[in-house]
Structure 1
Amino acid sequence: MNIAERYVRLAHGIDTHVQHFIDGYSGPPQWADRTRRAPAALLQETQDFLQHVEDVPDAGRREWLRTQGQAMHTHARLLTGEKMPFAEEVRGIYDIDPLTAPLDELDAALKTFEDALPGTGSATERLERLRDRVSLDNADVLRVAEPILHELRRRTADLYGLPAGENFTIHLVTDKPWGGYNWPLGNLQSRIDINTDFPVALPGLPGLLAHEGYPGHHTENAHKETELVRGRGWQEHQLQLLYSPQSVIAEGIATNALDLVMPETEVQAWLTGELAQVAGLDPQDIIAYLQATKAREDIKHVSGTAAVMLYQDGSNEDDVVKFLKHYNAVNEERARHSLSFIRHHRGYVYTYSVGQALVKKYVEHKGQAGFGELLKQPVTPGMLANG
């Protein structure tokens, strides 16, 4: 049995215990063995896998598989009932440390944000009114997305190339804990879902489509399928594991995606010009929203701090909701929606903030060519953190 088959079989075994562990798989169906194994058997299987990984000749491939295997080993330990601190869980599964924010820093950042919001009333009320003025009717979301995707795809193809035959479809969905999602389907195809539980704000739509599509998740998956699976025969990359270090890199790429194809000044001009006209929105409202969003950038690690409150400090859900309401300046419904994501995904919340920082630092050092490397080569959070 080759190392890729061992990897895929082990992942499917863990997926029978850990819901949504596998995000996508397009490899040989006979490898997708969903025979439910006891946690102790899975633990032994991960230990055996890690031993076989050391025989992989390519150093980069070996390190990637080793790090993914260590994540599966952590899952198996948890499944056997082993108790571990939340920070150890995050490190074991994602190859990163959880990040939180001191309250004094959050308070100062929140004050700056509140001062940037127009109008009167609480920060939550002013933000809701402003968001309402720049949000799209659900019936308009896909129409407005068309010119955005056209431009993002053109720029991505020019800067990083796109494999022939890649494509995705977009669907509007409801009742989800996330705002957008890319489902990798294999054969260079994806499905992108946009959640409309809350109205979609125009100023966030280019970032959302870059994150999920060009040059984010879809682009990364298509390039790695082309370069690694078809080019090198590394079939482990036909499998996407959600709760693993793989997601730190994927979210790091996606959270930086828009910046890597379009400078912030161009995004602002696009939103207040062509896109405001297409959407039928007032450019001045968009400018005000963008200014508030910019002022909000220093309110960092709110979800990460909330996760520590919940899973490390033992805070009750009402206290966590109160914290999320206050520092995100949102109403009860939005705060509980955020809590739902944390409840659903636990340490996954750190893949965004830590992944963004790791990829941003790497690209600052390597330039756009470095971003192109990340789209095509297997790397781990530890590899990026260590230079």
Structure 2
Amino acid sequence: MLRRMDIAERYIRLAHAIDAHAPGFIDGYGGPQEWADRQERDPAQLRLEANDLAVRVEEVAEEQRRAWLAVQVRAMQTMTRLLAGEQLRYSDEVRGLYDIEPRRADPAALDASLRVLEDALPGSGSLVDRKNALRDRVVVPPSALLDVTAPILAELRERTRTRFGLPQGEGFSIGLVSGKPWGGYNWPLGGLQSRIDINTDLPVTLTGLPDLMAHEGYPGHHTEHSTKEARLVRERGWQEHHIQLLNAPECVVSEGVATNALDAVMTREEVHSWLTGELAAHAGLDPDDVAAMLRVSEAQSSMKGVSGAAAMLLHEDGRPESEVIEFLSRYNVVTEQHARKNLEFITQPNLRAYIFTYSVGSDLVRGFMASHRQGAFARLLSEPLTPGQLATQVPVA
């Protein structure tokens, strides 16, 4: 039987060795610095180490810990296969890294959603022009973003603390960045701390801010990372949770938590009232414009699988980028410039398979919350659950 520390140290050291070949594989680390050994080793050797670690994981006594480590290490095995030059079919890459099935959006359903959006958008002209005209009226300029996010974070933090509790000493900083392929990001720093970045390359609307702050902060990524550090590392000694891996099944659950975070602390009616009332006044925006943009957002909520479908067209089917950009422009209802920003995400090496963590993770977590109700979200924040465990407990549409 291996000592408890041994398996965590092996896991963390291998993660750093993989990250030396694939920077960004590690999303955050707050454990012992002597384990953060990034000395490059041959990918073939790393593959052997990953295979050996998978065998050693089976010796872990605690069932819950063993099950979580097993799927995480399978992702490491997939990564080392890719690093060693093995060519995997894109859908097999998604399965191997994330323990999920990639899904294609139904074109008929997407077209139906466009018809709903047509009715939701005021004015005349193309869908993109009408959407952008409305969006521009509810944009929060970068100079005002931090001021407008302050009351949003304060309310979300208090609701999270009341409903789920927060570890003593947790906290994060928030800043504005540009030149990134994502809209917002939470960087786990360890010590119950994290950093949230908001990308100002594309317009940030008031209507999207509560969801963004819930997603990255309370009760989303920051809350999950700090709660698991407190419960799993500090209380149980499972030091593998000092590290967060970007290309691993934990991200499916994490993105599922984050995409459902706002719904876990506020009803849709509360969000609507908040945005069209206090927050619109604070940002100096017309509440009627805010209400109209909320209707548009609701109409587009059924189109969340567009980016995944685009990734399948590009990486699985080998369709040209021009066709993928046209698909993204049509179904995300964005300009070609914006579609190219979407394409940047799904072509980035560490993110190309990641895109499915949002849609699949969201459905898995929503189903888990619906079937377990009392205490379900609190469990997701504090327990090491896997996508496969969520999938076997609830049907996923």
Q: Normalising TM by the smaller chain, what interval?
A: over 0.9
Specify the alignment match of 1:153 in structure 2: 157
Letter of the 2:384 counterpart? P
Specify the alignment match of 1:366 in structure 2: 372
2:266 pairs with one of 258, 262, 269: 262
Classify the secondary structure of the residue corresponding to 1:386.
helix
Shift of 1:300: 3.5
Classify the secondary structure of the residue corresponding to 1:177.
coil
Shift of 1:102: 2.2
Structure 1 CA distance, aligned partners of 2:217 and 2:76?
A: 28
2:332 pairs with one of 311, 328, 336: 328
Structure 1 CA distance, aligned partners of 2:390 and 2:109?
A: 27
1:238 pairs with one of 229, 242, 258: 242
Q: Are 1:65 and 2:69 matched, yes or no?
A: yes
Letter of the 2:94 counterpart? V
Classify the secondary structure of the residue corresponding to 1:135.
coil
2:358 pairs with one of 352, 355, 363: 352
Specify the alignment match of 2:309 in structure 1: 305
Structure 2 CA distance, aligned partners of 1:368 and 1:278?
A: 35
CA deviations over 1:65-102 (Å, ceiling 9, x no partner): 00000000011111111122111110000000001112
Letter of the 1:384 counterpart? L
Letter of the 2:265 counterpart? V
1:378 pairs with one of 381, 384, 392: 384
Contact 1:106–1:300 under 8 Å retained in 2? no
Q: Are 1:21 and 2:25 matched, yes or no?
A: yes
Contact 1:156–1:261 under 8 Å retained in 2? yes
Contact 1:172–1:195 under 8 Å retained in 2? yes
Letter of the 2:387 counterpart? P
Structure 2 CA distance, aligned partners of 1:250 and 1:332?
A: 30
Specify the alignment match of 2:131 in structure 1: 127
Unaligned residue ranges in structure 2 (runs of 5+): none
CA deviations over 1:17-48 (Å, ceiling 9, x no partner): 11200000111111111111111101100011
Letter of the 1:160 counterpart? F
CA deviations over 1:163-210 (Å, ceiling 9, x no partner): 111010110111110000001111111100001111210000000000
Unaligned residue ranges in structure 1 (runs of 5+): none
Equivalenced residues, count = 387
Shift of 1:135: 0.5
After TM superposition, the structure 1 = structure 2 runs for residues 22-101 of structure 1, keeping only pairs within 5 Å, are 22-101=26-105
Classify the secondary structure of the residue corresponding to 2:166.
coil
CA deviations over 1:264-320 (Å, ceiling 9, x no partner): 000000000000000000000011101111111222410011000110111111111
Contact 1:260–1:368 under 8 Å retained in 2? no
Shift of 1:368: 4.5
- Give the % identical residues: 56
Structure 2 CA distance, aligned partners of 1:146 and 1:85?
A: 44
Structure 2 CA distance, aligned partners of 1:300 and 1:213?
A: 21
Cα RMSD of the aligned pairs, angstroms, is 0.8
Structure 2 CA distance, aligned partners of 1:302 and 1:129?
A: 22
Letter of the 1:92 counterpart? G
Classify the secondary structure of the residue corresponding to 2:197.
strand
Classify the secondary structure of the residue corresponding to 2:23.
coil
CA deviations over 1:229-256 (Å, ceiling 9, x no partner): 0001100000000011010011000000
After TM superposition, the structure 1 = structure 2 runs for residues 211-222 of structure 1, keeping only pairs within 5 Å, are 211-222=215-226
CA deviations over 1:200-234 (Å, ceiling 9, x no partner): 10000000000000000000011000000000110
Q: Are 1:196 and 2:200 matched, yes or no?
A: yes
> Any runs of at least 4 consecutive aligned residues in structure 1 with deviations exceeding 4 A, and if so which?
none
After TM superposition, the structure 1 = structure 2 runs for residues 310-321 of structure 1, keeping only pairs within 5 Å, are 310-321=314-325
Letter of the 2:145 counterpart? V
Letter of the 1:375 counterpart? L
